[in-house]
Amino acid sequence: MSPDADLEGLMVRYQHGDPAAATALVTCLSPALHRFFMIQSVSRRYADDLLQETWMRIHEVRHAYRPGEPVLPWLYAIARNIRVDHYRTASRVESREQRAKEIMEYPAATPGRPENCEDLVALLATLPESQREVIAMLKMSGMSLEEVARATSSSIGSVKQKAHRAYTKLRELLTAKGLGPMTSGDRHE
């Protein structure tokens, strides 16, 4: 049985109230969803909150899942909407707080690593949100182009374009840091 069929079977059982199926879905999919949120946010706590909110929303709307449809695009569409809702709310709150504290200036948070040791998350943070989202779904969650298109309400062409632009930008960043592909003059033979 394929992994997609396993997920579909678990989802149908979950719809019918099987607690073991719910536990299996959470156990199986939470790590990938958490990585999806970690790439989009700056704090683990924020990603944890988004993950919990996503599972609560999935529980509320599990009846809306249509058996036979792929599970991952359905789940990621919910996760994406949760993230967007939280981002909008956080932006409004941050804007109000900023106006309230105009007089006081706080130093920007500094990452725990030196600049020359940027990790993948830091590199991905330089990408526009829509490109980070596509890369997270394609490469970290292993979704197909069709599944990402469905989850983001985009066309396959749009997903391909965002992925291509993200790859180009990441290559440029890595090359600028001396980590990109070696040119013929760089090789020591």
Same domain, 41 and 127: no
Going by pLDDT thresholds of 50, 70 and 90, the confidence category of residue 34 is: very high
Same domain, 61 and 129: no
Round the average pLDDT of the chain to a whole number and report it.
81
Distance CA 165, CA 128 (A): 10
Q: What's the pTM? A: 0.57
Inside any domain, residue 160:
yes
The count of structural domains within the chain is 2
Same domain, 148 and 170: yes
pLDDT, mean of residues 65-74: 93
Which pLDDT does position 117 carry in this prediction?
A: 37
Inform me whether the pLDDT recorded for 125 exceeds 80: yes
What is the percentage of the chain residues whose pLDDT exceeds 90? 47
Cβ neighbors of 54 (< 8 A, separation 6 or more) are: 33, 75, 78, 79, 82
Same domain, 84 and 126: no
Inside any domain, residue 187:
no
Inside any domain, residue 168:
yes
pLDDT, mean of residues 117-125: 70
Q: Give residue 60's domain range.
A: 1-103
DSSP for 122-155?
Answer: HHHHTS-HHHHHHHIIIIIS---HHHHHHHHT--
Same domain, 26 and 77: yes
Q: How distant, in Å, are the alpha carbons of 73, 77, 117, 141 from that of 84?
A: 16, 11, 30, 19
Instruction: Flag the least confident range among 48-62, 83-97, 173-187.
Output: 173-187
